[in-house]
Every structure is written in structure tokens, then in C-alpha cells.
Amino acid sequence: IPNNTEGTYFPRLNSELNGFLKPFKDEYDKIIQDRGYVESVLIDGASRAKEVSTPLIEKIRKAVGIKGF
């Protein structure tokens, strides 16, 4: 590998990385602009997490002897 005295490697690496990351950045930019979509994804995720965790929490409470809450 020749030495990088001319500074040719960093600009090329930068260009390659930007080209590789562009589709991801474009998708991120599109998603972040739609706050309603982001909010709906968060609400849906919270709802699913509650569905999965509620039965487990109830089992744990019963096993430990905690009632209420």
C-alpha cells in the first residue's frame, strides 16, 4: 500500500461510506418527518409488550404472593 501523502484514501473512503449509508439515511429522514407514524409504531410496540408481559407478571406476583397493584 503506498503512503497516503496526497490524502487520497480518506476522501474515497468518505465517498464510499456515504454511498453505502445513503439508503439508510434517506429512510431515516422519511420516517422522522412523519411523527404520526413514529407515534403509532411506539404505541403498537407498547401494546404488544403489555400483552406479552401481563400474563408473566401475574404468574410472578402469584408465585411471590403479591396481590393488587
Per-residue model confidence as pLDDT tens for the chain (69 residues): 566 666 778 888 899 999 999 999 999 999 999 999 999 999 999 999 999 999 999 999 999 988 766
pLDDT at position 9, please?
A: 84
Vertex 9 angle, CA 6 and 15, to 5° = 125
Alpha carbons 68 and 48: distance in angstroms, whole number: 22
pLDDT at position 49, please?
A: 97
pLDDT at position 12, please?
A: 87
Whether this prediction's pTM lies above 0.85 is answered by no
